[in-house]
Amino acid sequence: MPAGDTPPIQARQTIGLDLPLKALVWEDQKGQVWLTHDEPHWLAQCHGIDASADRVVARLSAALVTLTSAAAAD
């Protein structure tokens, strides 16, 4: 298991349903391409994870911004 996932899973095991983080790239009927993912802060809130995992959640969120920005630039 990646180290970034460990603190949230230790805080609340149910978040394991949503980890590892995933992204979906899809094209609509008009030909527009979309990249969609769940925001880590939202996932933490949904699973009742308190502030003890905030640093890790912020790092996961920053990683998603970096990856999705790079994907969108191509």
Count CA atoms closer than 13 A to 70's CA, side-chain side: 6
* Residue pLDDT, tens place only, 36-69: 999 999 999 999 988 777 888 898 899 999 998 9
Amino acid, single-letter form, for residue 4: G
Residue 26 and residue 6: Cα distance in Å, rounded?
Answer: 29
- Cα separations in angstroms, 56 against 22, 45, 67: 16, 13, 16
> What residues does each domain of the chain span?
3-73
Is the pTM here over 0.85, yes or no?
no
Residue 11 and residue 30: Cα distance in Å, rounded?
Answer: 42
